[in-house]
Amino acid sequence: VEVGKDVVDASRGAGEVIREGSTRVPHLVRSATGTVAQVAQTGTTAAAAGASSLAARSQRHVSNAIEEQVVAPVKRAWHLLVTAFLLCFMVPLFGLRTYAPLNSVVSNL
């Protein structure tokens, strides 16, 4: 007889737990899915930030490599290029002006 009363009390307690759980479980599920969505969004944001920083670093690396390989040698040798222009074009242009008639005679041969 005592066991029967214990079973009845346990079933009443279980009924109360089920009623309380049915009102609270949907709220817990909603908050859990919201937390998972927030974690996923935070992870996605972190991945996007990492990818953009990687792209920026690679772009800087490429521009630095181009500057070291192309621009720096030209900056070092610009005076050599100007000197070559003067010696190969400007000096003969003005220095050989007196020989212009001889050039026209030779060109007519």
d(CA 51, CA 73): 33
Burial class (CB in 10 A: 0-12, 13-18, 19+), 90: exposed
Tell me what pLDDT residue 90 has: 82
For residues 2-19, average pLDDT: 73
With a pLDDT cut of 70, the percent of the chain lying above it is 63
d(CA 9, CA 17): 12
- pLDDT band at residue 73 using 50, 70 and 90 as cut-offs: confident
More confident residue, 63 or 15: 63
More confident residue, 58 or 50: 58
**pTM for this entry:** 0.34
